[in-house]
Amino acid sequence: MSYAETLEQALLTVKQQAMQMQRCLQQRKLMDALKHTSIMLTELRNPELSPKQYYELYIMIFDSLSVLSTYLAENHPKHHHLADLYELVQYAGNVVPRLYLMITVGTSYLKCPDSPRDEILKDMIEMCRGVQNPIRGLFLRYYLSQRTKQLLPEDATEFNANFIITNFIEMNKLWVRLQHQGPLREREQRTKERKELQILIGSQLVRLSQIVDDNLSMYKDQILPVVLEQAIQCRDIVSQEYLLDAICQVFPDEFHLATLDILLDATTHLNPDVSINKIVLTLIDRLNGYKDRQEQEQGQEQEENTTSKEVKAADINLFQIFWNYLSTLNEERPDLSLQQFIPLIESVLNLSLRWYPENLQNLNALYKITTQKCQDFGSDIPPNCEYLFQNLLTLQNSESSTLRPSSNFFYKLISQCESFGGLLALQSLPLQKSALNSILDVLLHNEVDFDDENEASSNEGFLIDSKENLCSLLSIFEPLTKLGPPMPSLDRKGSKNVKGTGDHFPADEDDNDDEGSWILDPIQEKLAKLNHVVFQSVVKSSDPIKDIEFEMEVLLTLRNWCYKGGKNIKYTYPAIITNFWKVIRRCHLLATRCDSENTKRHTELIKQNFKYVSRSTNDLFNMCGNSFSDALYKLNIQSASLADQLSLGEIAYDFFSQAFTLFEESLSDSRTQFQALVYMAQSLQKTRSLREENYYDSLIVRCTLHGSKLLKKQDQCRAVYLCSHLWWTTEIALIGEEEGVTTDFYREGKRVLECLQRSLRVADSTMDNIQSSELMIEILNRCLYYFIHGDEHDTHVSVRYINGLIELIKTNLKSLKMEETTTAKTQLAEQRLSELHIDDAQNTAKVSNRFVIGSDGSYIDVPTVNGGRALVSTKLNSMYINEMIQIPIQHFNRTCDYILNQRDVDDRFKVIVI
Partner 1 sequence: MLVLALSDAHIPDRAIDLPDKFKKLLSVPNKISQVVLLDNCTKSYDLLKFVNEVSPNVAIVRGEFDNAQLPTTKKNRIKESIPINTVIRQGNFKIGCCSGYTVVPKGDPLSLLALARQLDVDIMLWGGTHNVEAYTLEGKFFVNPGSCTGAFNSDWPIMSEDEVINKKETTEVDTNKQDEESAVKSEEPKETTSTDKKEKVEISNLDINGSNVPSFCLLDIQDSVCTLYIYIYIEGEVKVDRVVFKKEETQIQP
Q: Tell me whether residue 504 or residue 817 sits nearer to partner 1 (CB atom).
A: 504
Q: Are 42 and 34 in contact (CB under 8 A)?
A: no
Which positions ≥6 away from 550 have C-beta within 8 Å? 538, 539, 541
Counting Cα atoms < 13 Å in the Cβ hemisphere of 627 gives: 16
Q: What is the DSSP letter of 538?
A: B
Q: Is 581 in the site for partner 1 (CB under 8 A)?
A: yes
Angle value at C-alpha 755, between 749 and 761, nearest 5 degrees: 135
- How far from chain centre, in Å, is Cα 855? 44
CA 203 to chain centre: 44
**How would you classify the pairing of strands 871-873 and 851-853?**
unpaired
Residue 551 CB, nearest approach to partner 1 (Å): 11
159, 356, 505, 746: residue in contact with partner 1 (rule CB under 8 A): 505
The three state secondary structure string of 596-656 is: HHHHHHHHHHHHHHHHHHHHHHHHHHHHHHHHHHHHHHHHHHHHHHHHHHCCCHHHHHHHH
CB of 745 to partner 1, least distance (A): 12
In the complex with partner 1, the residue whose CB is nearer, 456 or 735, is 735
Residue closer to partner 1 (CB basis): 426 or 631: 631
Nearer to partner 1, 751 or 891 (CB): 891
User: Which of residues 151, 216, 313, 732 is near partner 1 by CB under 8 A?
Assistant: 732
Rounded to an integer, what distance in angstroms lies between the CA atom of residue 399 and that of residue 608? Answer: 48
Contact 445, 392 (CB under 8 A): no
Residues 453-492 that bind partner 1 (CB under 8 A): 488, 492
Q: Minimum Å distance from CB 807 to partner 1?
A: 20
Residue 433: how many other CB atoms lie within 10 Å: 14
Closer residue to partner 1, CB minimum distance, 420 or 628: 628
Interface residue with partner 1, options 30, 274, 552, 590 (CB under 8 A): 590
Instruction: From 204-212, 536-544, 560-568, 809-817, give the range in contact with partner 1 by CB under 8 A.
Output: 536-544
The Cβ-side half-sphere exposure at 103, using a 13 Å CA radius, reads 28
Q: Tell which positions 610-649 bind partner 1, by CB under 8 A.
A: 630-631, 634, 638, 641-642, 645
The continuous run of DSSP H or E covering 860 comes out as strand 859-861
Q: Is 507 in the site for partner 1 (CB under 8 A)?
A: yes
Restricted to residues 432-451, the positions that interact with partner 1 (CB under 8 A) are 444, 450-451
Residue 700 in contact with residue 684, Cβ under 8 Å?
Answer: yes
Q: Is 742 in the site for partner 1 (CB under 8 A)?
A: no
- DSSP label at 404? P
In the bound state with partner 1, the residue whose beta carbon lies nearer, of 542 and 822, is 542
Choice between 214 and 738, CB closer to partner 1: 738
What minimum distance in Å lies between the beta carbon of 262 and partner 1? 51
Residue 569 interacting with partner 1 (CB under 8 A):
no
Kindly give the pairing relationship between strand 851-853 and strand 859-861.
antiparallel
- Residues that bind partner 1 (rule: CB under 8 A) add up to a total of 106
As measured in angstroms, the least distance from the Cβ of 894 to partner 1 is 5
Q: What is the DSSP string of 126-162?
A: HHGGG--SHHHHHHHHHHHHHHHTTTS-SS-HHHHHH
Residue type, 44: L
Q: How far is the CB of 645 from partner 1 (least distance, A)?
A: 6
Return phi, psi of residue 506, to 5°.
-60, 140
Nearest residue (CB) to partner 1, 163 versus 655: 655
Closest by Cα among 664, 682, 895, 657 to 783 = 895
Shortest distance, position 846 Cβ to partner 1, whole Å: 6
Asked whether position 908 contacts partner 1 by CB under 8 A, the answer is: no
Residue 657: name the closest of 608, 693, 624 by CA: 693
Q: According to the binding rule CB under 8 A, does residue 725 interact with partner 1?
A: yes
CA distance 720 to 710: 10
Instruction: Give CA–CA dist 848/843, Å, rounded.
Output: 8
In what order do the strands lie in the sheet containing 851-853?
A: 851-853, 859-861, 871-873
CB of residue 275 to partner 1, shortest distance in Å: 42
Q: Does 838 bind partner 1 (CB under 8 A)?
A: no
Closest CA to 626 of 657, 577, 679, 664: 664
Considering only residues 866-895, where is the footprint of partner 1 by CB under 8 A?
866-870, 872, 890-891, 894-895
Q: How far from each other are the two terminal CA atoms of the chain, in whole angstroms? A: 129
Q: Using the minimum distance from each CB to partner 1, give the nearer residue, 8 or 744.
A: 744
Residue 504 as a binder of partner 1 (CB under 8 A): the answer is yes
Q: How far is the CB of 447 from partner 1 (least distance, A)?
A: 10
Shortest Å, Cβ 506 to partner 1: 6
d(CA 411, CA 409) in angstroms, rounded, equals: 5
Pick one of 78, 185, 493, 593: the residue that binds partner 1 (CB under 8 A).
Answer: 593
Which residues on neighbouring strands pair with residue 538, listed in sequence order? 464
Say whether residue 785 binds partner 1 (CB under 8 A).
yes
Residues 79-118: x where in contact with partner 1 by CB under 8 A, - otherwise, as a string = ----------------------------------------
Residue 269 is a binding residue for partner 1 (CB under 8 A):
no
User: Is there binding between residue 806 and partner 1 (CB under 8 A)?
Assistant: no
Nearer to partner 1 by Cβ, of 307 and 497: the residue is 497
Among 833, 852, 876, 914, binds partner 1 (CB under 8 A): 852
**Residue ranges in 663-722 that form contacts with partner 1 under rule CB under 8 A:** 669, 671-672, 675, 678-679, 681-682, 685-686, 722
Could you give the string, one character per residue 348-387, with x where binding to partner 1 holds by CB under 8 A and - elsewhere?
Answer: ----------------------------------------
356: amino acid identity, one letter: Y
User: Is the distance from CB of 1 to CB of 50 less than 8 angstroms?
Assistant: no
Other beta carbons within 10 Å of 328: 13
Residue with smaller CB distance to partner 1, 817 or 894: 894
Given candidates 292, 303, 525, 791, which one binds partner 1 under the rule CB under 8 A?
525
Pick between residue 48 and residue 525 the one whose CB is nearest to partner 1.
Answer: 525
Least gap, CB of 452 to partner 1 (angstroms): 8
Interface residues for partner 1 in 280-319 (CB under 8 A)? none
**How far apart (Å, rounded) are the C-alpha atoms in residues 522 and 486?**
8
What is the Cα–Cα distance from 57 to 135, expressed in whole angstroms? 13
Min dist. Cβ of residue 666 to partner 1 (A): 14
| Distance of closest approach, residue 731 Cβ to partner 1, in angstroms | 9
